[in-house]
Structure 1
Amino acid sequence: MDDGMDDGFVRLGERILLYNMYGTAGGVPAISFGGSPSTRWKRPDAVAALRASGLWMAVPDRPGYGGSTRQPGRTVASVVPDTVALADALGWDRFAVTGGSGGGPHALACAALLPDRVTRCAVTASIAPPIVDGPEPTEAEEAADPRRNRTSWKALREDLRPSLEETARSIMAAVEAGGPEFPPDPGAEPGPPAREDPAAMARLTATFVTSHDGWIDDLIAFANPWGFDLADIHVPITLWHGSADERAGKYTDHLTAAIPTAERRYYIGGHIPPTNTYRELLRWLSAGV
Structure 2
Amino acid sequence: MEPERLGTTQLPDGRLLGWGEWGPTSGPPVLFCTGAAMSRWLGLGAGVLERAKVRLISVDRPGLGVSTPAPGRGLLDWAADIQHLATARKLEGLLAVGFSQGAPFALACAARGVVKGVAIVAGGDELAHPVTRRLLHPEVAKLVDLVAAEPARAEAFFAGMSARMLWDMVIGMSSEADRAVFTEPRFAAAYQRALDEGFSQGSAGYARDTVLHMSRWPFELESLRVPVDLWYGGLDTSTVHSPDNGETLARRIPSARRQVLPHVGSALPWLHGEDILGSLLARTQSASG
% same residue: 23
Q: Distance in 2 between matches of 1:122 and 1:201?
A: 24
1:264 to 241, 258, 261: 258
- The alignment status of 1:233 with 2:228, answered yes or no, reads no
Q: Which residue of 2 aligns with 1:245?
A: 236
Aligned length: 273
Structure 1 unaligned regions, length at least 5: none
The two structures have a TM-score, normalised by structure 1, of 0.81
Residues 277, 255 of structure 1: alpha-carbon distance in 2 compared, 3 angstrom cutoff: same
Give 1:32 shift.
1.4
Report the secondary structure of 1:170's partner residue. helix
Q: Distance in 2 between matches of 1:189 and 1:141?
A: 28
Report the secondary structure of 2:244's partner residue. helix
Residue deviations 1:224-267, cap 9 Å, x none? 34221001101111111111125535151221111001110112
Structure 2 unaligned regions, length at least 5: none
| Counterpart mapping for 1:136-285 below 5 A | 142-143=136-137, 149-156=141-148, 157=150, 158-162=153-157, 165-166=160-161, 168-171=163-166, 185-187=175-177, 189=180, 191-193=183-185, 197=189, 201-208=192-199, 210-245=201-236, 247=239, 248-250=242-244, 252-267=246-261, 268-273=263-268, 275-285=270-280
| Counterpart mapping for 1:41-190 below 5 A | 41-42=41-42, 46-114=45-113, 118-131=115-128, 142-143=136-137, 149-156=141-148, 157=150, 158-162=153-157, 165-166=160-161, 168-171=163-166, 185-187=175-177, 189=180
Residues 202, 92 of structure 1: alpha-carbon distance in 2 compared, 3 angstrom cutoff: closer
Give 1:202 shift.
2.8
Report the secondary structure of 1:6's partner residue. strand
C-alpha contact (below 8 Å) 1:5/1:20 kept by paired residues: yes
Larger relative helix fraction = 2
The two structures have a TM-score, normalised by structure 2, of 0.81
For the pair shown, which has the larger CA radius of gyration, 1 or 2? 1
Residue deviations 1:176-221, cap 9 Å, x none? xxxx989864256463447995x55532321356521221111222
C-alpha root-mean-square deviation of aligned residues, in Å?
A: 3.2
- 228-237 or 7-16: bigger deviation: 7-16
